[in-house]
Amino acid sequence: MRKAVLTIAPAILVATCACAQPAESPADLRAPAEEYPSVAAALEAIRTKNGAKVTIQSGWTVVQDAASPTVWSFTPPSHPAYPAALRRSIVEQDGAFVVKSDAMCEAEKSACDQLMAEVHELDQRMIEASRKKQPGP
């Protein structure tokens, strides 16, 4: 099975920080593949971290890292892009909060590309929704 590493920069944690904006360049955030040899290894390491909160949401395993503003989402076995992991972190960059995201996907490239397209579309809707909620000048 081929491993694809995908990097994206959406604003997905708007509910956590309504002031978050999409990151300009996610290159300074190491992709999970540089830290973990596989999606399974990432899930095992992250779920056993001290303070990690693990929930299942619509079949996805979601892990909130209490030590940092980071959320990991792991696809369920029934998902076409399984196994895949998405990581989103809120960081301060140039005086503003941004959301940096990256992903590790071990499925076929077409399934990974479709997952990233769906995530990007969701991110765009969330960005628009957060803009509508922010009071005007």
Comparing 100 with 64, the larger pLDDT belongs to 64
Whole-angstrom CA distances from 5 to 9, 69, 131 are: 14, 22, 30
Position 55, amino acid: T
Evaluated on CA atoms 123, 117, 72, 27, the torsion sign reads: negative
End-to-end CA distance of the chain, in Å?
A: 51
Write out pLDDT tens, residues 25-69. 333 334 676 889 999 999 999 999 999 999 999 999 999 988 888
Reply yes or no on whether the pLDDT at 3 is more than 80: no
Calculate what percentage of the chain has a pLDDT beyond 70: 74
Strand duo 21-22 + 60-65: pairing:
unpaired
For residue 21, name the pLDDT band (cuts at 50, 70, 90).
Answer: very low
For residue 74, name the pLDDT band (cuts at 50, 70, 90).
Answer: very high
φ and ψ of 46, to 5 deg: -75, -40
